[in-house]
Amino acid sequence: MESRIIMKRRFALTESTKEWLITAIRLVCMFLFLYTAYAKLVDHDRFLKGLSGVHLISGLAVFISWFVPLIEILTFILLLIPYTAKSGLYLFLAMMVVFTGYISGVLLWAKTIPCHCGGVIENLSWTQHLWFNLAFIGLAIIALRLHKSNNQ
Partner 1 sequence: MKNFKQIALGLVVGAMAIGFSSFTTAKKFASVTYYQLSQDNYTKLTSPSGNCDPLQSKPHACTITYATDPGVASFTYSARPSGGSESATKEIWEQ
Interaction site with partner 1 (CB under 8 A): 23, 26-27, 30-32, 34-36, 38-39, 42-43, 49, 52-53, 76, 79-83, 112-115, 118-120, 125-126
- DSSP secondary structure letters along 51-100: HHT-TTTGGGHHHHHHHHHHHHHHHHHHHHSGGGHHHHHHHHHHHHHHHH
Nearer Cβ to partner 1 (78/93): 78
Q: How far is the CB of 32 from partner 1 (least distance, A)?
A: 8
Q: Nearer to partner 1 by C-beta: 55 or 148?
A: 55
Q: How far apart are CA 4 and CA 19, in angstroms?
A: 26
**C-beta of 8: minimal distance to partner 1 in Å?**
29
**CB closer to partner 1, 79 vs 93:** 79
Nearest approach, Cβ of residue 65 and partner 1 (Å): 15
Buried residues in 60-80 as b, exposed as e (16+ CB within 10 A) = ebeebbeebbebbeebbebbe
